[in-house]
Amino acid sequence: MNILFIPHVPNRKIINRVYEFSKNTNSYFLSWQIENSSLSVKVLSQFASLFAPIKLEDNIVTMPLLFKPEILSRTLNTKMLNHVIKKFKIDRVVNANALLFSIKDISIPVFYDLVDDHLASNADIGLTPLRVKKIEQDIRDSKGVICVTTVLEEKVKYLNSNTITVENGLYIERFKKAITLKKEFGLEDKKVFGYIGGVDEWTGIDRACESYREIRDETTAMIVVGDSKSGFFRALKVKYKDEIIFTGLIPPDEVGNYFKTLDIGLIPFKLNDFTNNAYPIKALEYGLAGVEVISTPLKVLKEKAFPFIHFYDISEFSMAMKCIEKREMDFNFSELSWQKQSSKLIDFIKRAE
């Protein structure tokens, strides 16, 4: 079976759920490039996407894509996708993208991968009521729905009864090989706090940085692993450049070393339907690296009740950062591998045939 995975947002520089499923099932995934740092860059990347070649190389599919206006773009993109499906003999599509395609018009069965809660309007991430309505219709038109959490599965069943929860996974062997970089950064005798992942405004990374500033002294350090061309994050790096280490993007194969460098990992996400029903991969990766975690009280993570995650309001982060210390980790992560999660997904698709 030839499966084409379509990501919600293309970013091959980080651990991405869709890419991991593709990799572990020997399937294809769709890739494209779109930049949002400024209007001129947006326009240039749109032109580049429109003239992208149709090709399949190393399991990566590229094709021309239009992003605006949305109604026209999904009509044209879906026609082009059907051409790609025929050209490369694709049997099934697993789609995590909310905007680019019209599911009902795709020529083969489509399974919707609900990576985050996109079923409630949220101006912070561009979820307008019209976009939510479109996502709901796509879910109805799908052969089945793969949800990242049981909370989302229960929420989506009124739209499509053929659902399953396939949670995010881990590369357990990769973390076994990871080493601390404290010596390389000159942090051997310090308590190291860290944030690893996306750095958009909704993540609350700015509040985490300010919390660290409140408790910073000669015995502590903080590392932020991730990057963005947004004005928000550029300003953040300038503001804290003398107090916090900003590493930029790190190749996925090396990120485990940065998790291992931390004593305390931070998940400072703002609270809304989008974040409350999310299952951040970093929550698992912090724990697998033996790191204690301070998180805002996200609904899904609270239900998981991992012993290494401590929940505090963002206003209490600085207090928690003072009090919580790294402990010996005793937790079995063996059932959480990407390989096992990918097998579960394939079994679901086969049962739906």
Cβ proximity of 345 and 114 under 8 Å: no
Which parts of the chain fold into alpha helices (H)? 17-24, 39-50, 70-87, 129-140, 150-156, 172-176, 182-185, 205-215, 231-239, 252-261, 273-276, 281-288, 299-304, 317-323, 338-351
Distance CA(117)–CA(214), nearest Å, equals: 33
For the stretch 143-200, pLDDT in tens is: 999 999 888 899 899 999 999 999 988 888 888 889 999 999 999 999 999 999 989 9
For the chain, domains (ranges, CATH) are 3-169+339-351 (3.40.50.2000), 172-333 (3.40.50.2000)
Cβ proximity of 62 and 54 under 8 Å: yes
For the stretch 247-305, pLDDT in tens is: 999 988 889 999 999 999 999 999 988 888 888 889 999 999 999 999 999 998 999 89
For the stretch 41-52, pLDDT in tens is: 667 777 888 888
